[in-house]
Chain A
Amino acid sequence: MIRDALLLQLGYNATLVTLGATLLGMAAGVGGTFLFLRKRALVSDAISHATLPGVALAFMVMVTLGGTGRNLVGLLTGAALSAAVGLLLVSWLGTRTRLAEDAAIGSVLSVFFGFGIVLLTVIQTMSAGQQAGLEGFLLGSTAGMLRSDAMVIAVSAALTLALVMLMRRPLTLASFDPEYAVSIGQDVRRTDLAMMGLVLAVTVVGLKIVGLILIVALLIIPPVTARFWTERTDHVVMISGAVGGLSAYVGAALSAAIPAVPTGPIIVLVGFALFALSLLVAPGRGVVSALARHRTHQRRVHLRQGLLAMAQGQPIYENMTLRLLHRQGWARPDGVPTELGRGRAARALRDESRWRVIRSDPAFEAATAQDDGLTDIETVLTADQLAEVDARIPRAEVVA
């Protein structure tokens, strides 16, 4: 069943929804990157919660006009309108009053959501219309979806993705280097507005799939995940799109296969699994690689300190140092240096003297800057320079 779902074998509607979810996930991943880089990730939380009154009002309007209130396009239009009002209020509170942006986000989020709940309880008491299914907008529900609805979702997700890709360049510029963007004549405020518009589109399209409570995850988790894998702008955008698409694809497929599970939470958990994996194993920024780097550094420090101690004839008590020296074949287990070890120790001491010489000479300033106590001096100076330095080492320091 799960394999069928992943291979898109669960029928036309499920396939359409899964594809729509994938496209939406990609759009969210790409769009979310800009939001993340502008450090405004949580604005999207306010936008998504602000959709609820719009959905409820649209339902009530459609029922009053004599419909069943289940028209997805109508509901999503309502969602978009009230989300836009919420977004305007967040920016108004944040710029025109002295409240900080987080307070603006939190108040709009909770008040709109609370008002939406009030409207939902009103709807529950209405006799007309088919109110069942509005709760699906909270956590996403793709089970038993009408074909036309699936079509709406797939098409609007594709449109959103196209829009994001079209606006990628100005958005990238404004997110990474706003000053430069201004200097070449780009209207950054307008770009910001466009970014928010995109986020709004992703949110509204994602309502039925992910649900309004968790859509924010689809905008935040992919860029945060992508950031682990690369330092390059365009790569972050692409990887984030891929992570978003993959999470949404796997999540939507799984939810089509497992009965009675809302779609949103599964998509979020798949996304988080990708995030956790990246946090652990990504090269460079990942935890495992950071640990490995730390171990390497630790080893080098211990070996060097051990060698210097041996060169000066001091006993070594530190267990880790002893073990490392022994493993290198530079010392016996009790710390007495081997022939090889004595040679290495003399070299370490000589390099130490060389560093001391160049540190006191302003001519070597550039080279001295690389002196972190571990860098091999022979990688910093040329052979000629080394000869010159060696000639200046005081006699008494030279070890036979």
Chain B
Amino acid sequence: MNGAEFVPLSLVPLLTGICVAVACALPGNFLVLRRQALIGDAISHVVLPGIVVAFLIGGTVSTLPMLLGAAGAAVIAVGAIEAVRRLGRIETGAAMGVVFTTMFAGGVLLLEQSDTSSVHLDVEHALYGNLESLIWLDATGWSSLLDPQALASLPVELPRMAATLLLVAAFIALFWRPLKISTFDEGFARTIGLRTSPLGLALVIMAAIAAVAAFDAVGSIIVIAMFICPPAAARLMTNRLEHQVAWSVGFATLAAVLGYVLAGYGPLWIGMQDSVSAAGMIATVSGVILAVTALVGPHRLRGSAAPVG
């Protein structure tokens, strides 16, 4: 495949996929270690009503109001989970289950009841997005990357996802030590004066930002998979957090690239006509990676101590 075909059709979805995967996998490392892995699941369900309400108020499918709506819904969900947990004295898992299913149900109902048929806003899109549609129309080849005119028509999802990735990475780099300490030993973190609950909340907010930004481009299913699978696979490879994060970034990138390529070209190789869902394939590949590490990963068992060093 040459640049004239690759750059306009595949470059943008591929890069967007990588940005989404890494932006989700980075905070995912901490969520998995803190046993909050399902927060990604909850967030990706609750942003649906936020987006629908934003659409109903604004009347158009434009990015900013939708991001605000999604973020608002995520904040409401976090508050509601906390309220249900405290007021009802219910364990977190069940409280999450109550809140996210209800909000998702509300979102679906709003969507079906309102006239959104004219725009591409439907439940399927929310679930598995449409990575393949991020076509860079004005690109003619690799040289377009240096052409300001062509760059102006770059699908907005890519720069937005890249910015999100930078934000998430900056947050984690900046708060690396406190995050690490409070993840492994919250009690100790508190005794040395770290404020662990605002830090935990900030981590969840970062995860929410990544999820909301990714949601529009790629749908919720890939978001959940990327929050959990690459970090979980990385966890089975090493005992050191630094290495785990590096592994997870590698796995996330691998899943995004391999998944996109398999979805786009895999069916052609086995003689089928059309491509399959890229988001679904990326999630599938991340699952295969996790399965492999669960079978042969050097640190797959509980209590497998790290060699000193």
A-to-B contact residues, CB < 8 Å: 36, 39-42, 45, 92-93, 96-100, 102-103, 105-107, 109-118, 120-122, 125, 135, 138-139, 213-214, 216-217, 220-221, 223-224, 227-228, 260-262, 264-266, 268-269, 272, 275, 279, 285, 287, 290
A257 to chain B, nearest CB (A): 14
Given A111-B287, A217-B98, verify A260-B112 contact (CB < 8 Å).
yes
Q: B67 within 8 Å of A by Cβ?
A: no
Given A103-B228, A268-B101, verify A117-B94 contact (CB < 8 Å).
no
A369 to chain B, nearest CB (A): 25
For B301, the closest partner residue in chain A by CB is A98
Kindly name the residue among A116, A118, A121 whose own CB sees the greatest number of chain B CB atoms within 10 A: A118
Beta-carbon contact of B224 and A227 below 8 Å:
no
Beta-carbon contact of B98 and A106 below 8 Å:
no
Q: B139 within 8 Å of A by Cβ?
A: no
Which chain A residues lie closer than 8 Å to B231 at the CB level? 103
Kindly name the residue among A121, A279, A290 whose own CB sees the greatest number of chain B CB atoms within 10 A: A121
Beta-carbon contact of B101 and A266 below 8 Å:
no
Which chain B residues lie closer than 8 Å to A223 at the CB level? 94
Q: B284 within 8 Å of A by Cβ?
A: yes
Report which of B41, B105, B284 forms a contact with A217, defined as CB distance below 8 A. Answer: B105
Q: B32 within 8 Å of A by Cβ?
A: yes
B128 to chain A, nearest CB (A): 5
For A139, the closest partner residue in chain B by CB is B108
A2 to chain B, nearest CB (A): 15
Which chain A residues lie closer than 8 Å to B84 at the CB level? 279
Interface string of B31-51 (1 = CB under 8 A from A): 010011110110000000000
Kindly name the residue among A99, A107, A116, A264 whose own CB sees the greatest number of chain B CB atoms within 10 A: A107
Q: B236 within 8 Å of A by Cβ?
A: yes
Given A109-B41, A125-B273, A216-B101, verify A98-B303 contact (CB < 8 Å).
yes
Report which of B97, B283, B303 forms a contact with A114, defined as CB distance below 8 A. Answer: B283
Given A102-B37, A103-B37, verify A115-B284 contact (CB < 8 Å).
yes
Given A110-B225, A110-B229, A122-B276, verify A97-B236 contact (CB < 8 Å).
yes
- For chain B, the bracket of interface size reads 35 or more
B-to-A contact residues, CB < 8 Å: 32, 35-38, 40-41, 84, 87-91, 93-98, 101-102, 104-106, 108-109, 112-113, 123-124, 127-128, 221-222, 224-225, 227-229, 231-232, 235-236, 263, 267, 272-277, 279-284, 286-287, 290, 294, 297, 299-304
Given A42-B38, A45-B41, A117-B221, verify A265-B294 contact (CB < 8 Å).
no
In the bound complex, CA of A42 to CA of B91 (Å)? 11
A138 to chain B, nearest CB (A): 7
Which chain B residues lie closer than 8 Å to A117 at the CB level? 127-128, 221, 277, 279-280, 283
Given A106-B228, A109-B41, A224-B98, verify A118-B236 contact (CB < 8 Å).
no
Which chain A residues lie closer than 8 Å to B93 at the CB level? 39-42, 102
Which chain A residues lie closer than 8 Å to B279 at the CB level? 114, 117
Which chain B residues lie closer than 8 Å to A272 at the CB level? 98, 102, 105
Beta-carbon contact of B32 and A114 below 8 Å:
no
In the bound complex, CA of A98 to CA of B228 (Å)? 14
In the bound complex, CA of A96 to CA of B295 (Å)? 10
Beta-carbon contact of A121 and B280 below 8 Å:
yes
Given A39-B91, A269-B105, A275-B98, verify A110-B228 contact (CB < 8 Å).
yes
Kindly name the residue among B229, B231, B272, B282 whose own CB sees the greatest number of chain A CB atoms within 10 A: B229
Report which of B36, B90, B235, B275 forms a contact with A98, defined as CB distance below 8 A. Answer: B235
In the bound complex, CA of A275 to CA of B301 (Å)? 41
Beta-carbon contact of B88 and A102 below 8 Å:
no
Kindly name the residue among A122, A223, A285 whose own CB sees the greatest number of chain B CB atoms within 10 A: A122
Beta-carbon contact of A42 and B96 below 8 Å:
yes
Report which of A41, A98, A102, A118 forms a contact with B280, defined as CB distance below 8 A. Answer: A118
Beta-carbon contact of B232 and A118 below 8 Å:
no
Beta-carbon contact of A220 and B94 below 8 Å:
yes
Report which of B112, B224, B235, B272 forms a contact with A125, defined as CB distance below 8 A. Answer: B272
Report which of A111, A213, A214, A269 forms a contact with B286, defined as CB distance below 8 A. Answer: A111
In the bound complex, CA of A220 to CA of B104 (Å)? 15
Which chain B residues lie closer than 8 Å to A135 at the CB level? 124
Beta-carbon contact of B38 and A105 below 8 Å:
yes
Cross-chain pairs A/B with CB under 8 angstroms, 16 sampled: A98-B300, A100-B35, A106-B41, A106-B228, A107-B232, A110-B225, A113-B280, A114-B284, A118-B280, A121-B274, A122-B267, A214-B101, A214-B105, A217-B101, A269-B102, A279-B88
Which chain B residues lie closer than 8 Å to A287 at the CB level? 87
In the bound complex, CA of A102 to CA of B33 (Å)? 10
B239 to chain A, nearest CB (A): 10
Which chain B residues lie closer than 8 Å to A139 at the CB level? 108, 123
Given A36-B94, A262-B108, A269-B106, verify A111-B101 contact (CB < 8 Å).
no
Given A98-B303, A228-B88, A279-B87, verify A114-B225 contact (CB < 8 Å).
yes
Report which of B105, B267, B275, B287 forms a contact with A115, defined as CB distance below 8 A. Answer: B287
A285 to chain B, nearest CB (A): 7
Beta-carbon contact of B101 and A118 below 8 Å:
no
Beta-carbon contact of B302 and A221 below 8 Å:
no
In the bound complex, CA of A261 to CA of B229 (Å)? 34
Kindly name the residue among A221, A223, A268 whose own CB sees the greatest number of chain B CB atoms within 10 A: A268
Beta-carbon contact of A285 and B88 below 8 Å:
yes
Kindly name the residue among B94, B106, B286, B304 whose own CB sees the greatest number of chain A CB atoms within 10 A: B94
In the bound complex, CA of A290 to CA of B290 (Å)? 47
Q: Closest 9 interchain pairs by CB?
A: A114-B283, A111-B287, A117-B280, A217-B101, A110-B225, A265-B105, A220-B97, A268-B105, A118-B280
